[in-house]
Structure 1
Amino acid sequence: MDNKISIISDQFQNESGSETVEGITIIINGKLKQIMDVLRENNEQYESNIDVVHDAFLRGLDDIRKDMPKG
């Protein structure tokens, strides 16, 4: 079974219509979905896959920020 993740980006107008914002859809399948299911089932803080993605995204951004050169 493969790790499958598809990310789709689209542009939307914000509520006031004065700014274009990016909307991102994440489609997860295969082993990655199985891993997310296990994480959700074994950790009470994750009530949905959205919670898992949110946490993974913020942790990943923090790691990237820490790896950036200072200056």
Structure 2
Amino acid sequence: MSDKNTVTMLSEEFENDKTGEKVEGITIIVDGKLKEVLDLIKIRNKNYNNYTEILRDALFEGINNITNKSKE
């Protein structure tokens, strides 16, 4: 697709059949520079087997970082 420094995300709403609760689902397109970076992380860190694992940790670490900064 592209080598630009962009991230493509798609959002969709889902409904829990049992509770009726609506939640947002997000699809992240791994392409371009993001794919290059994630590929390097997978090569350098054998703890990661796929992009989902890397993005999970990046998301939680990022949220923790933002939360800690907001406490200052």
Give the TM-score band, short-chain normalised: 0.7 to 0.9
The alpha carbon displacement at 1:11 in A equals 0.6
- Identify the structure with the greater helix proportion: 2
Q: CA RMSD in A?
A: 1.4
- Identify the structure with the greater strand proportion: 1
Deviation >6 Å, runs of 4+: none
Question: What are structure 2's unaligned runs of at least 5 residues?
Answer: none
Residue 5 in structure 1 maps to residue 12 in structure 2 = no
Residue in structure 2 matched with residue 58 of structure 1 by the alignment: 60
- Percent identity (aligned): 33
Question: What are structure 1's unaligned runs of at least 5 residues?
Answer: none
What TM-score does the superposition give when structure 2 sets the normalisation length?
0.86
What TM-score does the superposition give when structure 1 sets the normalisation length?
0.87
